[in-house]
Amino acid sequence: MKKIFFILALAGAVLSCEQKPNTLTSKEKADGWVLLFDGQTLNGWRDFKGTSLTGPWEVQDGTIWTDGKGDDGNGYIVTDREYANFDLKWEWKIARGGNSGLIYHAVEAPQYSVPYVTGPEYQIIDDDNWEEVNGYPLEPWQRCAVDYAMYVPDFETRILKPAGEWNQSEIIFDNGHVTYLLNGKVTVEFDAWTPDWFARKNAGKWSHAPEYGLSRTGHISIQDHGYPASFRNIKIKELPTKPIEKDLFNGKDLTGWTLYGKDKWYVENGELVCESGEDSSDYGYLATDEYYDDFDLTVEFKQEANGNSGVFFRSTVTPPARVNGWQVEVAPKGNDTAGIYESYGRGWLVQIPEEKEGILKEGEWNTLRILAQGPRIQTWLNGEPMVDITDEKVGLIKNETILFPSSLPPDIVGLRKQGLRHG
């Protein structure tokens, strides 16, 4: 009897200490963890690019539950907030033969109809019953706990519980170093924005999604992909962003850049040179492969013909060569070099006063500096302050590319000694 009594008492002790779903311990709170789901409401979540919830989502028995009737039009909900670097944990279970996913760094903009063309996805899927239920096999890059269409785990060591049972997943995104875990075991670990990462992106499913995976911040999204699924215990701990310094131009070739449009860019004598095309209606842009948020950029330029160039920042490119964003002007004397022009429709935000036009050295090397800190943008030309503005619209756009436009009419612009610090 004593033995039986001891076992029952121990079981009761274990049960009494079990943490309730959708709660945080005192230690977790002290460590900076925050719940993204309170277990009772969907506060803090809404439709992708929406202001409310209209899709097939509801709270059921302390879970975020979706009925499996979602599609690309209404199958995604996102957090109100955006996140950059984080440790994210959640639990999930899915229907037999089902498919779902969790996407992070999703960008909301008119040109993006779904989150996954910008945000990487932690795949959630029932590997064991997929082929029987759906009639065709999964590719390795489609299986559970992969970085969808990019990185796959060792499936022999992966721990996956059957459909209908709870699994725990985790994503750690630490300044580009990424780790996925499933039920406490690492499935994939990789570094974003490396040559290997870009090679995978450009060779596979994302070759026609130029903005995929580039954003350094964005919304977290969960997916109804046509199958019932449940989520709970969604919690996040934000990690600090680490400023870095890097050269954008290596002085040898165009590594790290993508050319848009018909104009010619090449490296000669350690300088980045542009030659505009014969058709003055054509524009050309050389864009960084990576995105940047707040930054301190310096670039030296020499303009050798009567044309127009500049530096676009917080900008997006729609192939073949349409750019939306803000440009720090580079132009002949009297044409507002270091001023700021917006291509979204407002035109000039700041033009340069006449008394500062003499700071530009025509036919010589000039140094342009751009400092972007949230909504505040400052420029300097040859060490002299030129622009200092705070603009709410500029501050809303983050993590976009940096571009150098070619000049019109035809001319040559040399660029050298580029550096960037961002955080």
Over residues 170-181, the pLDDT tens digits come to 999 999 999 999
Identify whether the C-beta of residue 44 lies closer than 8 Å to the C-beta of residue 234.
Answer: no
Instruction: Give the pLDDT of residue 316.
Output: 78
Query: Within 10 A of 193 (CB to CB), how many other CB atoms are there?
Result: 16
- Kindly report the CATH class assigned to 244-422: mainly beta
Instruction: Give the pLDDT of residue 314.
Output: 85
Cα maximum dimension of the chain: 99
Q: Which of 393, 170, 414 is nearest to 269 (CA)?
A: 414
Which residue ranges make up each domain of the chain?
Answer: 22-238, 244-422
DSSP 7: H
Tell me the three state secondary structure of residue 176: coil
Higher per-residue pLDDT: 322 or 102: 102
400 alpha carbon, distance to own chain's centre: 9
Burial of 394 (0-12, 13-18, 19+ CB in 10 A): buried
- Tell me the pLDDT tens digit for each residue of 283-340: 778 888 888 888 999 999 988 877 778 898 888 777 777 787 889 999 999 999 999 9
Where do the H-state alpha helices sit in 143-254? 195-203
DSSP 241: P
Identify whether the C-beta of residue 146 lies closer than 8 Å to the C-beta of residue 154.
Answer: no
Identify whether the C-beta of residue 234 lies closer than 8 Å to the C-beta of residue 98.
Answer: no
- Is-same-fold flag (22-238; 244-422)? yes
pLDDT interval class at 282 (50, 70, 90): low
Instruction: Give the pLDDT of residue 278.
Output: 63
Q: How far apart are CA 146 and CA 15, in angstroms?
A: 34
Q: How far apart are CA 375 and CA 378, in angstroms?
A: 10
Question: Which residues, other chains included, contact 358 with Cβ-Cβ below 8 Å and sequence gap of 6+?
Answer: 333
Question: Please, how many CA atoms are within 13 Å of residue 169, restricted to the half-sphere of its CB?
Answer: 28
Identify whether the C-beta of residue 338 lies closer than 8 Å to the C-beta of residue 368.
Answer: yes
pLDDT interval class at 419 (50, 70, 90): very low
Burial of 6 (0-12, 13-18, 19+ CB in 10 A): exposed
Identify whether the C-beta of residue 329 lies closer than 8 Å to the C-beta of residue 340.
Answer: yes
Identify whether the C-beta of residue 418 lies closer than 8 Å to the C-beta of residue 376.
Answer: no
- Residues of the chain with pLDDT > 70, as a percent, come to 88
7 pLDDT above the threshold of 80: no
Query: Within 10 A of 176 (CB to CB), how many other CB atoms are there?
Result: 16
Average pLDDT over residues 157-169: 97
Instruction: Give the pLDDT of residue 15.
Output: 37
- Residues facing residue 238 across a β-bridge: 86
Q: Which of 267, 264, 263 is nearest to 250 (CA)?
A: 267
- Residues facing residue 318 across a β-bridge: 322
Token pair recorded at residue 80: 């109100």
- Tell me the pLDDT tens digit for each residue of 200-249: 999 999 998 988 999 999 999 999 999 999 999 999 999 999 888 888 99
Average pLDDT over residues 356-378: 93
Q: Which one is the CATH code of 22-238: 2.40.50.1020, 3.60.150.10, 2.60.120.560, 1.10.150.530?
A: 2.60.120.560
